[in-house]
Amino acid sequence: AQSVAQPEDQVNVAEGNPLTVKCTYSVSGNPYLFWYVQYPNRGLQFLLKYITGDNLVKGSYGFEAEFNKSQTSFHLKKPSALVSDSALYFCAVRDIYSSASKIIFGSGTRLSIRP
């Protein structure tokens, strides 16, 4: 079965420090991976995706993610955290058994940036 796991419910980082939000995946074949962010009482916003090509993917708001096939990971990173980055982050993988663009979401990681 296809799945993504976000092993940390919460990540706390001081403003200005680098941040990492972890994601591991389990899929058959090539993974198509996404990161989304959700601010309180709002819908999800797309940050970035990995389909093929460079293992380092750059996205919105200064975020990037590194695809690591050997470790089946797709961690989200940012060199210098901002208080405004505090939000709920979801990793997701495309459901390859679906003909539509169905994606399977992880359980989410709450990122808290302290001033």
Partner 1 sequence: DGGITQSPKYLFRKEGQNVTLSCEQNLNHDAMYWYRQDPGQGLRLIYYSQIVNDFQKGDIAEGYSVSREKKESFPLTVTSAQKNPTAFYLCASSALTSGAYNEQFFGPGTRLTVL
Query: Is the separation of the CB atoms in 80 and 25 below 8 Å?
Result: no
Q: Which is nearer to partner 1, 42 or 69 (CB)?
A: 42
Tokens encoding 66: 């590194």
Nearest-angstrom CA–CA distance, 77 and 17 = 11
Positions in the binding site for partner 1 (CB under 8 A) = 9, 32, 34, 36, 41-46, 49, 51, 90, 94, 99-103, 105-108
- Give the shortest CB-23-to-partner 1 separation in angstroms: 12
Nearest-angstrom CA–CA distance, 63 and 29 = 26
Q: Which is nearer to partner 1, 13 or 103 (CB)?
A: 103
- Give the shortest CB-67-to-partner 1 separation in angstroms: 14
- Give the shortest CB-18-to-partner 1 separation in angstroms: 25
Nearest-angstrom CA–CA distance, 40 and 66 = 26
Q: Which is nearer to partner 1, 28 or 115 (CB)?
A: 28
- Give the shortest CB-99-to-partner 1 separation in angstroms: 7
Query: Is the separation of the CB atoms in 108 and 11 below 8 Å?
Result: no
Q: Which is nearer to partner 1, 46 or 61 (CB)?
A: 46
The neighbour count for residue 27, using CB atoms within 10 Å, is: 18
